[in-house]
Amino acid sequence: MSDLVIVFPLYPGVTHLDFTGPQQVLCRVPGAKIIVASMGGADIEADGLTFTNLADLAQVEACDLICVPGGFGASAAMLDDAFMSHIKRLAGGAKYLTSVCTGSLILAATGLLKGKRATCHWAWKDQLKPFGVIVTEGRVVRDGNIITGGGVTAGLDFAFTMVAELAGDALAQSLQLGLEYSPAPPFNSGTPDTAPPEILAAVRAMMAGAMGERQEAAEEAARRLEAV
């Protein structure tokens, strides 16, 4: 395998584990060329970490796989015409369109997920509906060449799924073993179905402040698509 170009487009307010998790796995695929890019190659701060020496997204000519990470900055990114023009350009020519967490909202804002099955972080998945996406439960959801991961940690499940697709099950399993990916969380509270009711209520309340803004952003981005 050679010249497998994988692009992670970053933006202010990205969740770094959404891309560093998959990047850690996918960089080990033979022949993979990983490009982490931002508008103008600007540094991106993410939860106290600063990612630098990034490629200029506008200078990335094409890719085989685009993986859009999520984050609280996804709302603004969906409405950034310059950023979205490059996402649509790269996604339109990619063999695989992928995302992690709320990155699927950005991918959906290109219009390329209309009528397709996709997933998102549990708290925000209904915001895929204005884009005509068929919202689907699952850690990793595939519809043809569109492969989306759920919230944050699902990015690792997505990454191993992609390795199996790109280079076979044996390599995927070998990388899983090499990275000792054998999750055994201390609490069974990783989904709304398993979390204690009081924990779920507290997290929903914490996210409520951003819910309206993100819903408005999704609806505005969907309106812009219809106007094109």
Give me the sign of the Cα torsion angle 111, 113, 114, 119: negative
Phi-psi region of 15 (alpha: psi -120 to 50; beta: other; left: phi over 0): beta
Beta carbons within 10 angstroms of residue 92's beta carbon = 13
Among this protein's residues, is 67 annotated catalytic?
no
Where does the chain show beta strands of DSSP type E?
Answer: 4-9, 32-38, 44-46, 49-51, 55-56, 65-68, 96-100, 117-118, 134-135, 140-143, 146-149
**Exposed, middle or buried by CB within 10 Å (0-12, 13-18, 19+), for 222?**
buried
Cβ atoms of 25 and 160 closer than 8 Å: yes
Check 27, 63, 67, 101 and give the catalytic one: 101
**Tokens 């950005």 sit at which residue?**
106
- List the end-to-end C-alpha distance of the chain, in Å, as a whole number: 38
H or E stretch including 87?
helix 81-93
Beta carbons within 10 angstroms of residue 196's beta carbon = 11
Catalytic residue IDs: 101
